[in-house]
A and B are shown apart, each in its own frame.
Chain A
Amino acid sequence: MTSQTKRTGRSLSQPRPGPLQYLVLGLLAVVFVYPIWWAVSSSLKPPADIVRDPLSFSLGSATLDNYRAMFDDVPIGTGFVNTVLVVAVKGAMTMFFCPLAGYAFAKYRFPGKNLLFGVLMLTLMLPTLVLVIPLLLEMSQLGWVNTYQALILPGSIDAFSIFWMRQTIAAVPDELLDAGRVDGASEFGIFARIVVPVIRPGIAALGVLTAMNIYNDFVWPVVAVNDESHQTLQVVLSTLAQNVTGNRVGADFATVWGELLAAGSIAMLPVLALFVLLQRHFINGILAGSVKG
Protein backbone atom coordinates (compact mmCIF):
# COMPACT_ATOMS: atom_id res chain seq x y z
CA MET A 1 0.00 0.00 0.00
CA THR A 2 2.89 2.32 0.65
CA SER A 3 5.42 1.01 -1.81
CA GLN A 4 5.96 4.30 -3.62
CA THR A 5 5.72 6.67 -0.72
CA LYS A 6 9.23 8.04 -1.21
CA ARG A 7 8.26 9.53 -4.49
CA THR A 8 7.71 13.25 -4.43
CA GLY A 9 5.73 13.64 -7.57
CA ARG A 10 5.37 16.99 -9.23
CA SER A 11 2.95 15.72 -11.80
CA LEU A 12 -0.77 15.64 -11.26
CA SER A 13 -0.94 11.92 -11.93
CA GLN A 14 -1.09 9.57 -9.00
CA PRO A 15 1.44 6.75 -8.59
CA ARG A 16 0.65 3.64 -10.59
CA PRO A 17 -0.78 0.98 -8.28
CA GLY A 18 1.60 -1.95 -7.78
CA PRO A 19 0.86 -5.68 -7.73
CA LEU A 20 0.42 -5.61 -3.97
CA GLN A 21 -2.43 -3.15 -4.29
CA TYR A 22 -4.13 -5.32 -6.88
CA LEU A 23 -3.63 -8.36 -4.68
CA VAL A 24 -5.19 -6.66 -1.66
CA LEU A 25 -8.13 -5.35 -3.65
CA GLY A 26 -8.57 -8.68 -5.43
CA LEU A 27 -8.62 -10.69 -2.20
CA LEU A 28 -11.07 -8.24 -0.69
CA ALA A 29 -13.29 -8.54 -3.75
CA VAL A 30 -13.32 -12.34 -3.45
CA VAL A 31 -14.23 -12.15 0.24
CA PHE A 32 -17.11 -9.80 -0.55
CA VAL A 33 -18.50 -11.61 -3.58
CA TYR A 34 -17.92 -15.27 -2.80
CA PRO A 35 -20.73 -15.68 -0.20
CA ILE A 36 -23.23 -14.38 -2.77
CA TRP A 37 -21.92 -16.68 -5.48
CA TRP A 38 -21.85 -19.57 -3.04
CA ALA A 39 -25.46 -18.99 -1.97
CA VAL A 40 -26.72 -18.71 -5.56
CA SER A 41 -24.73 -21.65 -6.91
CA SER A 42 -25.61 -23.86 -3.95
CA SER A 43 -29.28 -23.08 -4.42
CA LEU A 44 -28.99 -24.77 -7.84
CA LYS A 45 -27.51 -27.97 -6.41
CA PRO A 46 -29.44 -31.06 -5.38
CA PRO A 47 -30.06 -30.67 -1.63
CA ALA A 48 -27.93 -33.64 -0.65
CA ASP A 49 -24.91 -32.13 -2.41
CA ILE A 50 -25.19 -28.85 -0.50
CA VAL A 51 -24.47 -30.81 2.64
CA ARG A 52 -22.09 -33.39 1.25
CA ASP A 53 -19.73 -31.12 -0.66
CA PRO A 54 -20.24 -27.39 -0.03
CA LEU A 55 -17.52 -26.36 -2.48
CA SER A 56 -18.43 -28.25 -5.60
CA PHE A 57 -20.56 -26.83 -8.34
CA SER A 58 -21.16 -28.19 -11.81
CA LEU A 59 -23.54 -26.77 -14.35
CA GLY A 60 -24.34 -30.30 -15.46
CA SER A 61 -26.08 -31.24 -12.26
CA ALA A 62 -27.76 -27.84 -11.77
CA THR A 63 -31.41 -28.13 -10.87
CA LEU A 64 -34.32 -25.86 -10.05
CA ASP A 65 -35.80 -28.36 -7.59
CA ASN A 66 -35.09 -26.10 -4.62
CA TYR A 67 -36.91 -23.25 -6.32
CA ARG A 68 -39.93 -25.37 -7.19
CA ALA A 69 -40.21 -26.62 -3.62
CA MET A 70 -39.77 -23.09 -2.28
CA PHE A 71 -42.47 -21.62 -4.54
CA ASP A 72 -44.85 -24.30 -3.32
CA ASP A 73 -44.06 -23.56 0.31
CA VAL A 74 -44.00 -19.76 0.54
CA PRO A 75 -46.05 -16.92 -1.05
CA ILE A 76 -42.96 -15.24 -2.44
CA GLY A 77 -44.74 -13.68 -5.46
CA THR A 78 -47.14 -11.70 -3.27
CA GLY A 79 -44.17 -10.58 -1.21
CA PHE A 80 -42.46 -9.25 -4.32
CA VAL A 81 -45.50 -7.26 -5.45
CA ASN A 82 -45.95 -5.71 -2.02
CA THR A 83 -42.29 -4.81 -1.75
CA VAL A 84 -42.28 -3.16 -5.18
CA LEU A 85 -45.28 -1.05 -4.24
CA VAL A 86 -43.78 0.09 -0.95
CA VAL A 87 -40.39 0.83 -2.53
CA ALA A 88 -42.02 2.96 -5.25
CA VAL A 89 -44.22 5.14 -3.05
CA LYS A 90 -42.05 5.44 0.05
CA GLY A 91 -38.95 5.89 -2.14
CA ALA A 92 -40.57 8.72 -4.11
CA MET A 93 -41.37 10.55 -0.87
CA THR A 94 -37.81 10.22 0.38
CA MET A 95 -36.33 11.29 -2.94
CA PHE A 96 -38.40 14.44 -3.11
CA PHE A 97 -38.53 15.73 0.46
CA CYS A 98 -35.09 14.79 1.81
CA PRO A 99 -32.91 16.67 -0.71
CA LEU A 100 -35.25 19.63 -0.36
CA ALA A 101 -34.85 19.72 3.42
CA GLY A 102 -31.12 19.07 3.07
CA TYR A 103 -30.91 22.08 0.77
CA ALA A 104 -32.63 24.32 3.31
CA PHE A 105 -30.25 23.20 6.05
CA ALA A 106 -27.17 23.55 3.86
CA LYS A 107 -27.81 26.88 2.18
CA TYR A 108 -30.19 29.03 4.22
CA ARG A 109 -29.84 30.86 7.44
CA PHE A 110 -33.12 31.20 9.23
CA PRO A 111 -34.29 31.75 12.81
CA GLY A 112 -34.62 28.44 14.63
CA LYS A 113 -32.40 26.59 12.17
CA ASN A 114 -30.03 25.31 14.83
CA LEU A 115 -32.89 24.13 16.98
CA LEU A 116 -34.61 22.40 14.07
CA PHE A 117 -31.37 20.80 12.98
CA GLY A 118 -30.70 19.70 16.54
CA VAL A 119 -34.09 18.00 16.63
CA LEU A 120 -33.31 16.33 13.31
CA MET A 121 -30.02 15.02 14.66
CA LEU A 122 -31.71 13.83 17.81
CA THR A 123 -34.17 11.78 15.78
CA LEU A 124 -31.18 10.21 14.07
CA MET A 125 -30.19 8.86 17.45
CA LEU A 126 -33.54 7.20 17.99
CA PRO A 127 -33.34 3.46 17.75
CA THR A 128 -36.05 2.24 15.39
CA LEU A 129 -36.91 -0.33 18.00
CA VAL A 130 -38.03 2.36 20.47
CA LEU A 131 -40.88 3.26 18.19
CA VAL A 132 -42.00 -0.22 17.27
CA ILE A 133 -44.44 -0.85 20.14
CA PRO A 134 -46.02 2.61 20.29
CA LEU A 135 -46.22 2.84 16.49
CA LEU A 136 -47.98 -0.48 16.36
CA LEU A 137 -50.47 0.76 18.94
CA GLU A 138 -50.95 3.97 16.97
CA MET A 139 -51.61 1.95 13.82
CA SER A 140 -54.26 -0.08 15.57
CA GLN A 141 -55.90 3.12 16.90
CA LEU A 142 -56.02 4.37 13.30
CA GLY A 143 -57.18 1.02 11.96
CA TRP A 144 -54.05 0.86 9.84
CA VAL A 145 -52.68 -2.55 10.82
CA ASN A 146 -52.25 -4.62 7.66
CA THR A 147 -52.42 -1.63 5.33
CA TYR A 148 -49.98 -0.21 2.83
CA GLN A 149 -49.99 3.20 4.50
CA ALA A 150 -48.68 1.58 7.67
CA LEU A 151 -45.77 0.20 5.66
CA ILE A 152 -45.20 3.43 3.74
CA LEU A 153 -45.72 6.50 5.93
CA PRO A 154 -43.62 5.96 9.08
CA GLY A 155 -40.05 6.87 8.21
CA SER A 156 -40.94 8.02 4.69
CA ILE A 157 -38.98 11.25 5.22
CA ASP A 158 -35.98 10.22 7.26
CA ALA A 159 -33.36 12.22 9.10
CA PHE A 160 -30.49 10.16 7.76
CA SER A 161 -31.23 11.09 4.15
CA ILE A 162 -31.71 14.76 5.03
CA PHE A 163 -28.41 14.85 6.89
CA TRP A 164 -26.64 13.17 4.00
CA MET A 165 -28.15 15.51 1.42
CA ARG A 166 -27.19 18.49 3.58
CA GLN A 167 -23.58 17.30 3.53
CA THR A 168 -23.73 16.86 -0.23
CA ILE A 169 -25.40 20.18 -0.96
CA ALA A 170 -23.05 22.09 1.35
CA ALA A 171 -20.32 21.40 -1.24
CA VAL A 172 -22.25 23.20 -3.99
CA PRO A 173 -20.64 26.63 -4.48
CA ASP A 174 -22.78 29.52 -3.29
CA GLU A 175 -21.84 31.43 -6.42
CA LEU A 176 -23.97 29.04 -8.48
CA LEU A 177 -27.01 29.71 -6.32
CA ASP A 178 -26.40 33.45 -6.30
CA ALA A 179 -26.19 33.39 -10.08
CA GLY A 180 -29.60 31.74 -10.18
CA ARG A 181 -30.93 34.33 -7.79
CA VAL A 182 -29.63 37.12 -9.97
CA ASP A 183 -31.46 35.51 -12.88
CA GLY A 184 -34.66 35.79 -10.86
CA ALA A 185 -35.25 32.10 -10.12
CA SER A 186 -37.62 31.27 -7.27
CA GLU A 187 -36.21 29.52 -4.20
CA PHE A 188 -37.71 26.22 -5.28
CA GLY A 189 -36.55 26.93 -8.83
CA ILE A 190 -32.98 27.30 -7.59
CA PHE A 191 -33.28 23.95 -5.85
CA ALA A 192 -34.89 22.15 -8.79
CA ARG A 193 -32.91 23.70 -11.63
CA ILE A 194 -29.51 24.40 -10.09
CA VAL A 195 -28.95 22.31 -6.97
CA VAL A 196 -30.52 19.05 -8.16
CA PRO A 197 -28.62 18.90 -11.46
CA VAL A 198 -25.35 19.72 -9.72
CA ILE A 199 -25.79 17.04 -7.06
CA ARG A 200 -27.31 14.49 -9.42
CA PRO A 201 -24.66 11.91 -8.52
CA GLY A 202 -25.55 12.33 -4.86
CA ILE A 203 -29.24 12.05 -5.67
CA ALA A 204 -28.60 8.87 -7.64
CA ALA A 205 -26.69 7.44 -4.69
CA LEU A 206 -29.53 8.42 -2.38
CA GLY A 207 -31.96 6.71 -4.75
CA VAL A 208 -30.02 3.48 -4.75
CA LEU A 209 -29.58 3.43 -0.99
CA THR A 210 -33.20 4.36 -0.36
CA ALA A 211 -34.50 1.64 -2.64
CA MET A 212 -32.19 -0.91 -1.02
CA ASN A 213 -33.11 0.15 2.48
CA ILE A 214 -36.83 -0.07 1.86
CA TYR A 215 -36.48 -3.31 -0.06
CA ASN A 216 -34.43 -4.81 2.77
CA ASP A 217 -36.39 -3.31 5.66
CA PHE A 218 -37.45 -5.94 8.13
CA VAL A 219 -38.19 -4.84 11.69
CA TRP A 220 -41.16 -2.57 11.02
CA PRO A 221 -42.83 -4.62 8.26
CA VAL A 222 -42.68 -7.75 10.38
CA VAL A 223 -44.52 -5.93 13.18
CA ALA A 224 -46.96 -3.82 11.14
CA VAL A 225 -48.32 -6.60 8.97
CA ASN A 226 -49.43 -10.05 9.98
CA ASP A 227 -51.72 -10.78 7.08
CA GLU A 228 -50.11 -12.74 4.28
CA SER A 229 -51.59 -10.53 1.53
CA HIS A 230 -49.63 -7.49 2.75
CA GLN A 231 -46.36 -9.12 3.78
CA THR A 232 -43.24 -7.77 2.13
CA LEU A 233 -40.61 -10.03 0.65
CA GLN A 234 -38.33 -9.87 3.70
CA VAL A 235 -41.15 -10.89 6.02
CA VAL A 236 -42.00 -13.81 3.77
CA LEU A 237 -38.31 -14.76 3.79
CA SER A 238 -38.06 -14.60 7.55
CA THR A 239 -40.95 -17.01 8.03
CA LEU A 240 -38.96 -19.48 5.98
CA ALA A 241 -35.90 -18.88 8.15
CA GLN A 242 -37.95 -19.62 11.25
CA ASN A 243 -39.12 -22.87 9.69
CA VAL A 244 -35.53 -23.78 9.03
CA THR A 245 -34.30 -23.11 12.51
CA GLY A 246 -37.36 -24.90 13.84
CA ASN A 247 -36.64 -27.88 11.62
CA ARG A 248 -32.96 -28.23 12.40
CA VAL A 249 -33.49 -31.35 14.46
CA GLY A 250 -35.81 -32.82 11.82
CA ALA A 251 -34.65 -35.51 9.46
CA ASP A 252 -34.20 -33.63 6.21
CA PHE A 253 -32.65 -30.29 6.85
CA ALA A 254 -30.68 -30.49 3.60
CA THR A 255 -33.99 -29.96 1.78
CA VAL A 256 -34.82 -26.97 3.93
CA TRP A 257 -31.35 -25.53 3.38
CA GLY A 258 -31.93 -25.85 -0.34
CA GLU A 259 -35.21 -23.96 -0.15
CA LEU A 260 -33.66 -21.37 2.08
CA LEU A 261 -30.78 -20.69 -0.28
CA ALA A 262 -33.22 -20.57 -3.19
CA ALA A 263 -35.38 -17.99 -1.41
CA GLY A 264 -32.36 -15.96 -0.40
CA SER A 265 -30.97 -16.02 -3.93
CA ILE A 266 -34.21 -15.02 -5.57
CA ALA A 267 -34.54 -12.12 -3.15
CA MET A 268 -30.98 -11.00 -3.85
CA LEU A 269 -30.78 -11.31 -7.61
CA PRO A 270 -33.11 -8.56 -8.84
CA VAL A 271 -31.66 -6.04 -6.45
CA LEU A 272 -28.09 -7.03 -7.33
CA ALA A 273 -28.82 -6.82 -11.06
CA LEU A 274 -30.40 -3.41 -10.69
CA PHE A 275 -27.47 -2.29 -8.61
CA VAL A 276 -24.87 -3.41 -11.12
CA LEU A 277 -26.71 -1.46 -13.81
CA LEU A 278 -27.01 1.73 -11.77
CA GLN A 279 -23.55 1.43 -10.28
CA ARG A 280 -21.66 2.71 -13.31
CA HIS A 281 -24.06 5.59 -13.57
CA PHE A 282 -23.67 7.13 -10.16
CA ILE A 283 -20.09 6.24 -9.25
CA ASN A 284 -18.86 7.89 -12.44
CA GLY A 285 -20.98 10.87 -11.54
CA ILE A 286 -19.42 11.19 -8.10
CA LEU A 287 -15.99 11.02 -9.72
CA ALA A 288 -16.67 13.71 -12.29
CA GLY A 289 -18.16 16.09 -9.76
CA SER A 290 -19.73 19.29 -10.86
CA VAL A 291 -17.88 21.58 -8.52
CA LYS A 292 -15.70 22.88 -11.32
CA GLY A 293 -18.61 24.62 -13.07
Chain B
Amino acid sequence: MTSGTLTPPRKERAAPAAPRPARSRRRPFLAPYLFVAPFYVVFAAFGLYPLVFALQLSFTDWKGAGEANFIGLENYTYLLTSEEFWSSLGNSAVMWLLIVPLQIVGGLAAAVLLANARLRLRGMFRVAFIAPFVTPLVAMAQVWIVAFDTDYGLVNHLFNLVGLPDVDWLQSTAWAKPTLALLFLWKTTGFAIIILLAGLQAVPADVYEAASLDGASRKRQFWSLTLPLMRRSIAFLVVVQTLAVFQMFAEPFVVTQGGPYGSTTTGGLYLYNHILASDLGTGAANSFLLVLLVFALSLLSVRLLRSKDE
Protein backbone atom coordinates (compact mmCIF):
# COMPACT_ATOMS: atom_id res chain seq x y z
CA MET B 1 0.00 0.00 0.00
CA THR B 2 3.01 2.22 0.29
CA SER B 3 4.71 1.65 -3.02
CA GLY B 4 4.35 4.48 -5.46
CA THR B 5 7.27 3.56 -7.64
CA LEU B 6 5.83 0.66 -9.54
CA THR B 7 4.77 0.57 -13.14
CA PRO B 8 1.13 1.52 -13.49
CA PRO B 9 -1.04 -1.58 -13.62
CA ARG B 10 -2.26 -1.08 -17.15
CA LYS B 11 1.11 -1.68 -18.73
CA GLU B 12 1.36 -5.16 -17.32
CA ARG B 13 -2.07 -6.29 -18.01
CA ALA B 14 -2.43 -7.05 -21.69
CA ALA B 15 -0.75 -10.45 -21.80
CA PRO B 16 -2.26 -12.22 -18.80
CA ALA B 17 -5.81 -11.02 -19.38
CA ALA B 18 -6.16 -13.59 -22.18
CA PRO B 19 -9.22 -12.14 -23.90
CA ARG B 20 -11.56 -14.80 -25.10
CA PRO B 21 -11.78 -15.01 -28.86
CA ALA B 22 -14.83 -13.58 -30.53
CA ARG B 23 -17.28 -16.37 -30.96
CA SER B 24 -19.58 -17.15 -33.77
CA ARG B 25 -21.86 -19.96 -32.92
CA ARG B 26 -25.47 -20.82 -33.41
CA ARG B 27 -27.55 -18.59 -31.26
CA PRO B 28 -30.63 -20.23 -29.81
CA PHE B 29 -33.34 -17.63 -29.77
CA LEU B 30 -35.86 -18.57 -27.12
CA ALA B 31 -33.75 -20.25 -24.43
CA PRO B 32 -32.12 -17.17 -22.85
CA TYR B 33 -35.48 -15.39 -22.61
CA LEU B 34 -37.01 -18.39 -20.86
CA PHE B 35 -34.05 -18.56 -18.49
CA VAL B 36 -34.30 -14.94 -17.37
CA ALA B 37 -38.10 -14.68 -17.46
CA PRO B 38 -38.91 -15.96 -13.94
CA PHE B 39 -37.01 -13.08 -12.37
CA TYR B 40 -38.98 -10.50 -14.34
CA VAL B 41 -42.31 -12.16 -13.56
CA VAL B 42 -41.61 -12.12 -9.82
CA PHE B 43 -40.21 -8.60 -10.06
CA ALA B 44 -43.24 -7.33 -11.95
CA ALA B 45 -45.60 -8.75 -9.34
CA PHE B 46 -43.71 -7.91 -6.16
CA GLY B 47 -41.39 -5.14 -7.28
CA LEU B 48 -42.65 -3.06 -10.16
CA TYR B 49 -46.32 -3.03 -9.21
CA PRO B 50 -45.72 -1.89 -5.64
CA LEU B 51 -43.08 0.52 -6.93
CA VAL B 52 -45.50 2.28 -9.26
CA PHE B 53 -47.93 2.40 -6.39
CA ALA B 54 -45.28 3.95 -4.15
CA LEU B 55 -44.46 6.54 -6.80
CA GLN B 56 -48.10 7.63 -6.93
CA LEU B 57 -48.14 7.65 -3.16
CA SER B 58 -45.16 10.00 -3.01
CA PHE B 59 -47.27 12.77 -4.59
CA THR B 60 -50.04 12.48 -2.01
CA ASP B 61 -50.58 13.23 1.64
CA TRP B 62 -51.91 9.73 2.36
CA LYS B 63 -51.57 8.66 5.99
CA GLY B 64 -52.40 4.97 5.59
CA ALA B 65 -56.16 5.43 5.79
CA GLY B 66 -58.80 7.77 4.43
CA GLU B 67 -58.53 9.85 1.32
CA ALA B 68 -55.31 10.53 -0.55
CA ASN B 69 -54.96 14.08 -1.83
CA PHE B 70 -52.62 14.96 -4.64
CA ILE B 71 -50.13 17.51 -3.34
CA GLY B 72 -47.60 17.56 -6.17
CA LEU B 73 -43.97 17.79 -5.13
CA GLU B 74 -44.71 18.95 -1.61
CA ASN B 75 -43.34 15.77 0.03
CA TYR B 76 -40.11 16.13 -1.89
CA THR B 77 -39.62 19.80 -1.17
CA TYR B 78 -40.47 19.17 2.47
CA LEU B 79 -37.73 16.56 2.71
CA LEU B 80 -35.14 18.47 0.73
CA THR B 81 -35.52 21.44 3.04
CA SER B 82 -35.73 19.32 6.18
CA GLU B 83 -32.76 19.28 8.48
CA GLU B 84 -33.65 15.79 9.74
CA PHE B 85 -33.54 14.36 6.23
CA TRP B 86 -30.10 15.76 5.52
CA SER B 87 -28.75 14.69 8.87
CA SER B 88 -29.98 11.13 8.24
CA LEU B 89 -27.99 11.15 4.99
CA GLY B 90 -25.04 12.69 6.81
CA ASN B 91 -25.17 9.92 9.41
CA SER B 92 -25.18 7.31 6.65
CA ALA B 93 -22.28 9.04 4.90
CA VAL B 94 -20.23 8.96 8.10
CA MET B 95 -21.09 5.27 8.51
CA TRP B 96 -19.93 4.68 4.95
CA LEU B 97 -16.60 6.37 5.63
CA LEU B 98 -16.15 4.36 8.83
CA ILE B 99 -16.96 1.08 7.11
CA VAL B 100 -16.26 0.70 3.39
CA PRO B 101 -12.63 1.83 2.93
CA LEU B 102 -11.50 -0.12 6.00
CA GLN B 103 -13.40 -3.20 4.94
CA ILE B 104 -12.01 -3.26 1.41
CA VAL B 105 -8.39 -2.73 2.41
CA GLY B 106 -8.58 -5.04 5.42
CA GLY B 107 -10.59 -7.65 3.55
CA LEU B 108 -8.12 -7.66 0.69
CA ALA B 109 -5.19 -8.04 3.07
CA ALA B 110 -6.89 -10.93 4.85
CA ALA B 111 -7.82 -12.57 1.56
CA VAL B 112 -4.24 -12.32 0.28
CA LEU B 113 -2.92 -13.90 3.49
CA LEU B 114 -5.54 -16.64 3.31
CA ALA B 115 -4.89 -17.39 -0.35
CA ASN B 116 -1.31 -18.40 0.39
CA ALA B 117 -1.17 -22.11 -0.37
CA ARG B 118 1.44 -22.71 2.31
CA LEU B 119 -0.59 -21.22 5.13
CA ARG B 120 -1.37 -23.67 7.91
CA LEU B 121 -4.69 -23.67 9.77
CA ARG B 122 -6.24 -21.96 6.77
CA GLY B 123 -9.56 -23.75 7.14
CA MET B 124 -9.77 -22.66 10.76
CA PHE B 125 -9.05 -19.02 9.93
CA ARG B 126 -11.68 -19.01 7.23
CA VAL B 127 -14.32 -20.47 9.52
CA ALA B 128 -13.43 -17.86 12.14
CA PHE B 129 -13.64 -14.93 9.72
CA ILE B 130 -16.90 -15.92 8.13
CA ALA B 131 -18.67 -17.01 11.31
CA PRO B 132 -19.97 -13.50 12.16
CA PHE B 133 -21.54 -13.17 8.72
CA VAL B 134 -23.57 -16.27 9.42
CA THR B 135 -24.97 -15.10 12.73
CA PRO B 136 -28.41 -13.47 12.72
CA LEU B 137 -28.11 -9.70 12.84
CA VAL B 138 -30.96 -9.30 15.31
CA ALA B 139 -29.28 -11.72 17.72
CA MET B 140 -25.91 -10.00 17.45
CA ALA B 141 -27.46 -6.55 17.78
CA GLN B 142 -28.81 -7.75 21.13
CA VAL B 143 -25.36 -8.96 22.11
CA TRP B 144 -24.01 -5.52 21.19
CA ILE B 145 -26.49 -3.87 23.58
CA VAL B 146 -25.20 -6.04 26.41
CA ALA B 147 -21.51 -5.96 25.50
CA PHE B 148 -21.33 -2.19 24.98
CA ASP B 149 -23.40 -1.21 28.00
CA THR B 150 -21.66 1.66 29.76
CA ASP B 151 -22.01 0.37 33.32
CA TYR B 152 -21.98 -3.43 33.09
CA GLY B 153 -20.82 -4.17 29.54
CA LEU B 154 -17.97 -6.42 28.50
CA VAL B 155 -16.07 -3.80 26.53
CA ASN B 156 -15.82 -1.25 29.32
CA HIS B 157 -14.88 -4.07 31.67
CA LEU B 158 -11.95 -4.86 29.37
CA PHE B 159 -11.11 -1.17 29.11
CA ASN B 160 -10.98 -0.86 32.89
CA LEU B 161 -8.70 -3.89 33.14
CA VAL B 162 -6.07 -2.16 31.01
CA GLY B 163 -6.57 1.14 32.81
CA LEU B 164 -8.77 2.91 30.30
CA PRO B 165 -11.83 4.86 31.48
CA ASP B 166 -15.43 3.90 30.73
CA VAL B 167 -16.66 4.94 27.31
CA ASP B 168 -20.27 5.89 26.76
CA TRP B 169 -20.52 3.68 23.68
CA LEU B 170 -24.21 3.79 22.95
CA GLN B 171 -25.25 6.87 24.87
CA SER B 172 -22.92 9.48 23.40
CA THR B 173 -23.24 11.10 20.00
CA ALA B 174 -19.50 10.73 19.44
CA TRP B 175 -19.34 6.95 20.00
CA ALA B 176 -22.72 5.60 18.92
CA LYS B 177 -21.90 5.70 15.20
CA PRO B 178 -18.51 3.98 15.51
CA THR B 179 -20.10 1.36 17.77
CA LEU B 180 -22.73 0.52 15.16
CA ALA B 181 -20.12 0.68 12.39
CA LEU B 182 -18.14 -1.86 14.39
CA LEU B 183 -21.15 -4.16 14.47
CA PHE B 184 -21.53 -3.82 10.70
CA LEU B 185 -17.80 -4.39 10.12
CA TRP B 186 -17.69 -7.33 12.48
CA LYS B 187 -20.72 -8.86 10.83
CA THR B 188 -19.91 -8.40 7.13
CA THR B 189 -16.13 -8.34 6.71
CA GLY B 190 -16.14 -12.13 6.40
CA PHE B 191 -18.41 -11.75 3.40
CA ALA B 192 -15.98 -9.27 1.87
CA ILE B 193 -13.12 -11.68 2.48
CA ILE B 194 -14.91 -14.61 0.86
CA ILE B 195 -15.77 -12.59 -2.25
CA LEU B 196 -12.23 -11.23 -2.55
CA LEU B 197 -10.73 -14.65 -1.91
CA ALA B 198 -12.86 -16.17 -4.65
CA GLY B 199 -11.70 -13.36 -6.95
CA LEU B 200 -8.07 -14.00 -6.05
CA GLN B 201 -8.41 -17.69 -6.70
CA ALA B 202 -10.03 -17.09 -10.06
CA VAL B 203 -6.73 -15.61 -11.25
CA PRO B 204 -5.07 -18.53 -13.06
CA ALA B 205 -1.82 -19.77 -11.53
CA ASP B 206 0.03 -19.56 -14.84
CA VAL B 207 -0.38 -15.79 -14.81
CA TYR B 208 1.84 -15.71 -11.72
CA GLU B 209 4.10 -18.32 -13.20
CA ALA B 210 4.73 -16.14 -16.23
CA ALA B 211 5.30 -13.10 -14.02
CA SER B 212 7.76 -15.02 -11.86
CA LEU B 213 9.68 -16.13 -14.92
CA ASP B 214 9.85 -12.51 -15.97
CA GLY B 215 11.38 -11.77 -12.58
CA ALA B 216 8.52 -9.82 -11.09
CA SER B 217 8.63 -9.67 -7.29
CA ARG B 218 5.75 -10.79 -5.10
CA LYS B 219 4.97 -7.21 -4.25
CA ARG B 220 5.03 -6.16 -7.84
CA GLN B 221 2.88 -9.10 -8.82
CA PHE B 222 0.31 -7.95 -6.29
CA TRP B 223 0.12 -4.39 -7.62
CA SER B 224 0.54 -5.20 -11.29
CA LEU B 225 -1.40 -8.43 -11.63
CA THR B 226 -3.55 -9.27 -8.65
CA LEU B 227 -5.06 -5.87 -8.03
CA PRO B 228 -6.03 -5.12 -11.65
CA LEU B 229 -7.48 -8.61 -12.06
CA MET B 230 -9.38 -8.15 -8.79
CA ARG B 231 -10.94 -4.90 -9.91
CA ARG B 232 -14.25 -6.52 -10.69
CA SER B 233 -14.50 -8.19 -7.31
CA ILE B 234 -13.60 -4.95 -5.57
CA ALA B 235 -16.07 -2.89 -7.60
CA PHE B 236 -18.74 -5.47 -6.86
CA LEU B 237 -18.05 -5.26 -3.14
CA VAL B 238 -17.97 -1.48 -3.02
CA VAL B 239 -21.33 -1.29 -4.74
CA VAL B 240 -22.96 -3.97 -2.60
CA GLN B 241 -21.66 -2.49 0.65
CA THR B 242 -22.58 1.06 -0.35
CA LEU B 243 -26.13 -0.14 -0.89
CA ALA B 244 -26.09 -1.98 2.42
CA VAL B 245 -24.70 0.92 4.43
CA PHE B 246 -27.17 3.46 3.06
CA GLN B 247 -30.02 1.05 3.78
CA MET B 248 -28.71 0.16 7.22
CA PHE B 249 -31.73 -0.34 9.38
CA ALA B 250 -31.78 -3.25 11.80
CA GLU B 251 -28.57 -2.20 13.61
CA PRO B 252 -29.78 1.22 14.76
CA PHE B 253 -33.37 -0.05 15.02
CA VAL B 254 -32.46 -2.71 17.57
CA VAL B 255 -29.41 -1.21 19.30
CA THR B 256 -29.95 2.54 19.56
CA GLN B 257 -33.40 3.30 18.10
CA GLY B 258 -31.63 6.05 16.16
CA GLY B 259 -30.33 7.87 19.23
CA PRO B 260 -28.68 9.45 21.06
CA TYR B 261 -30.07 12.73 19.70
CA GLY B 262 -30.66 11.18 16.30
CA SER B 263 -26.96 10.55 15.78
CA THR B 264 -27.58 6.99 14.52
CA THR B 265 -30.74 7.74 12.58
CA THR B 266 -29.49 6.40 9.28
CA GLY B 267 -31.16 6.92 5.91
CA GLY B 268 -32.91 3.58 6.33
CA LEU B 269 -34.14 4.22 9.84
CA TYR B 270 -35.37 7.73 9.03
CA LEU B 271 -37.38 6.19 6.21
CA TYR B 272 -38.85 3.62 8.57
CA ASN B 273 -39.84 6.37 10.98
CA HIS B 274 -42.22 7.72 8.33
CA ILE B 275 -43.85 4.30 8.20
CA LEU B 276 -44.21 4.27 11.98
CA ALA B 277 -45.78 7.71 11.85
CA SER B 278 -48.12 6.48 9.07
CA ASP B 279 -46.79 9.36 6.97
CA LEU B 280 -46.71 7.10 3.93
CA GLY B 281 -46.64 9.81 1.27
CA THR B 282 -43.54 11.42 2.74
CA GLY B 283 -42.06 7.98 3.34
CA ALA B 284 -42.50 7.05 -0.30
CA ALA B 285 -40.89 10.31 -1.42
CA ASN B 286 -38.03 9.68 0.97
CA SER B 287 -37.60 6.20 -0.53
CA PHE B 288 -37.17 7.59 -4.01
CA LEU B 289 -34.71 10.24 -2.92
CA LEU B 290 -32.72 7.51 -1.19
CA VAL B 291 -32.82 5.34 -4.32
CA LEU B 292 -31.53 8.20 -6.47
CA LEU B 293 -28.72 8.89 -4.07
CA VAL B 294 -27.68 5.26 -3.73
CA PHE B 295 -27.87 4.81 -7.48
CA ALA B 296 -25.64 7.83 -8.08
CA LEU B 297 -23.15 6.61 -5.48
CA SER B 298 -22.99 3.16 -7.04
CA LEU B 299 -22.39 4.56 -10.50
CA LEU B 300 -19.72 6.83 -9.11
CA SER B 301 -17.87 4.03 -7.36
CA VAL B 302 -17.98 1.79 -10.42
CA ARG B 303 -16.68 4.64 -12.54
CA LEU B 304 -13.89 5.46 -10.11
CA LEU B 305 -12.76 1.86 -9.92
CA ARG B 306 -12.83 1.43 -13.67
CA SER B 307 -11.09 4.61 -14.72
CA LYS B 308 -7.72 3.09 -13.87
CA ASP B 309 -8.03 0.64 -16.67
CA GLU B 310 -10.27 1.92 -19.40
Contacts and interface: CB of A to CB of B under 8 A. Distances in A.
Question: Is B one of A's binding partners?
Answer: yes
Given A286-B198, A286-B201, A33 B128 contact: yes
B240 A160 contact: yes
Interface string A156-185: 110110110001000101100010010000
A7 B47 contact: no
A237 B139 contact: yes
A39 B138 CA distance: 13
A286 B54 CA distance: 41
A279 B142 contact: no
A116 B31 contact: no
Interface in A197-219: 202, 205, 209, 212, 215-216, 218-219
A279 B137 contact: no
Interface string B97-137: 00000000000011011101111010111111111111111
A138 B270 CA distance: 23
A108 B27 contact: yes
- Which label, helix, strand, loop or mixed, suits the secondary structure of the A interface? helix
- Which label, helix, strand, loop or mixed, suits the secondary structure of the B interface? helix
A268 B249 CA distance: 20
Interface residues of B, number: 111
Interface residues of A, number: 119
B225 interface: no
A218 B33 contact: no
Contacts of A104: 31-33, 35-36
Contacts of B198: 202, 205, 286
B113 A24 contact: yes
26 contacts: A1-B112, A13-B117, A14-B118, A15-B218, A17-B113, A24-B109, A35-B132, A50-B152, A55-B157, A104-B31, A126-B47, A127-B291, A129-B249, A129-B271, A131-B50, A134-B51, A153-B42, A155-B46, A159-B43, A205-B194, A218-B250, A237-B138, A260-B142, A260-B145, A261-B143, A286-B198
